[in-house]
Amino acid sequence: MIIINSLNEIESFDKSVVTIGKFDGIHKGHEVLIEKTIDYSKQEQLTSIVFTFQNSPISYFSNILTREIITEVEKMNKLKLLGVEVVIDIPFNKDMAEISAEDFVKQILVDKLGAKKLIIGHDFAFARKREGTPPILKILGKKYGFEVEVIEPVVINNIRVSSTHVKDLIYAGRVDEIKNYLGRNYTIEGTVIHAKQLGRTLGFPTANLRLQENLIIPKRGIYATKVYIGNEVYVGATNIGYNPTVNGERMSVETNILQFDKDIYGKTIKLEFLERIRDEKKFKDLNELKIQLKMDTNYIYKKYICKSS
């Protein structure tokens, strides 16, 4: 897969089929757009191109950093696995915000990418003042000689699949529902760092994470997780919160990795969220906290380790 990070780097393509979007998370709705793009490229012997942005247009206009479902690296890896040939992955900046729909079509889609077909979602809009809507693009397609296919929304459990819905589920801690819409469980990556080591003194040592990029952090609470360390996979009890029993002041993400006792400081690990077990709670003392941690880990061990062994 070829990744192009600037419009100036594009060497004109002869004939292509293009889909455009932020593709935040690459959920099941996004996959339909991308798979249709790839299928059509094979049928008509065209180059499949995904045109996307490194940052959210919302963050550009609001000047507020938006939380993401996946990192840029994960996004590129997912597109590669889906079979995309070329990804135009550029910053959303002043040029993108101010270009007219027709100039974008003429200068980029037609002149640079050689688009013969454009595949977009039903609610797609881009360019200056979001004037590049499906009806406008169909008019421009007739003018410049390319077809426009508009894909209807994917609906699962009577809910339209969207990045907004996936984000809402993450924020609400409803991680067991995410796979329905994202196509996979939610994951975050981070580097294991030194912390207070309270868990170790209680007999429940934890890996404390410094998270990568601006990923969404699920709702505070205790979660059952899969833990990926290199090529190995473990099961863990992950706490997201402030450790109120010991008057913690900083939000932390820490995981007690079951059946594991190795030094992994400085290593990058990935957490896959399976289930939210309970809210974070302030206990009356450390002994009560220790009893609850034992109950949490026993529940996870019986459900996710004994079942698979």
Would you list the DSSP string of 227-259? Answer: EEETTEEEEEEEEEE--GGGT--S-EEEEEETT
Q: What is the pairing mode between strands 221-229 and 268-278? A: antiparallel
The CATH class given to the 2-160 domain equals: alpha beta
d(CA 176, CA 135): 38
Question: Distances from the Cα of 146 to the Cαs of 46, 106, 120, in angstroms?
Answer: 13, 11, 13
Ramachandran region, residue 23 (left: φ > 0; alpha: ψ -120 to 50; beta: rest): left
SS3 178: helix
Higher-confidence position of 42 and 306: 42
SS3 179: helix
Integer distance in angstroms from the first to the last C-alpha of the chain?
Answer: 38
pLDDT recorded at residue 289: 82
Residue pair 210/261 in contact (Cβ under 8 Å)? The answer is no
Q: What is the pairing mode between strands 16-20 and 47-53? A: parallel
pLDDT(200) > 60: no
pLDDT recorded at residue 201: 55
Please say whether the dihedral angle defined by the alpha carbons of residues 24, 28, 34 and 38, taken in this order, is positive or negative.
positive
The token pair at 64 is: 């507020």
Q: What residue ranges do the domains of the chain occupy?
A: 2-160, 185-306
What is the pLDDT averaged over residues 61-88? Answer: 91
What is the pLDDT averaged over residues 160-186? Answer: 96
d(CA 203, CA 201): 6
Q: What is the pTM of this model?
A: 0.91
Residue 107 gets which letter from DSSP? I
Would you list the DSSP string of 40-85? Answer: HHHHHT-EEEEEEESS-HHHHHH--PPPBSS-HHHHHHHHHHHT-S
Which has the closest alpha carbon to 105: 93, 92, 88, 117? 117
pLDDT recorded at residue 129: 82
Q: What is the CATH number of domain 185-306?
A: 2.40.30.30
Q: Any idea which of 51-55, 178-182, 202-206 has the lowest mean pLDDT? A: 202-206
Q: What is the 3-state secondary structure (H, E, C) of 289-307?
A: HHHHHHHHHHHHHHHHHHC
pLDDT recorded at residue 242: 80
